[in-house]
Amino acid sequence: MSTVRPFWLHEPCPTWCDQFHEGDLDVSDRRHVSDDARTILLSTEDMKVRGQVPHKPSDYQPVELVIYLDQHVREVGPRIVFDQLPGDRKMVHLLPTEARRVADALLAMALLAEGNKPGTEDSDN
């Protein structure tokens, strides 16, 4: 692991950061992103379609939610990101098992953001 930081990073990364920081990033891309990202497959959402018409079977992909931590280097703390919402959707449909996975992922990211290791059940708040 390299100890050399890009010129724009004045402090060490948070412990949860994936530390993939390149020196030539635009200001808006200078972010810490968690190494730990949770993916939840959404079985009742329409599949994503890519590629040109006529589509091949490999153009169809199931929708996945990705939940991770993100913090711009100028922000004081991380935020939990819900990423890859299907299309321009503002609403997501979850089966109960999927909702449990989302809840587990949110809890894990909250623990990580608070400096705790996900998976350890320390509920001392």
Q: Where on the chain is the footprint of Zn ion (CB under 5 A)?
A: 13, 17, 32
Closest C-alpha to 111, from 65, 78, 66: 78
Instruction: Find the shortest distance in angstroms from Cβ 75 to Zn ion.
Output: 12
Residue number with CB closer to Zn ion (73 or 110): 73
Gap between the Cα atoms of 54 and 62, Å rounded? 18
Residue number with CB closer to Zn ion (32 or 101): 32
Q: Is the peptide bond between 54 and the residue preceding it cis, with omega within 30 degrees of 0?
A: yes
Instruction: Find the shortest distance in angstroms from Cβ 71 to Zn ion.
Output: 8
Residue number with CB closer to Zn ion (7 or 96): 7
Instruction: Find the shortest distance in angstroms from Cβ 16 to Zn ion.
Output: 9
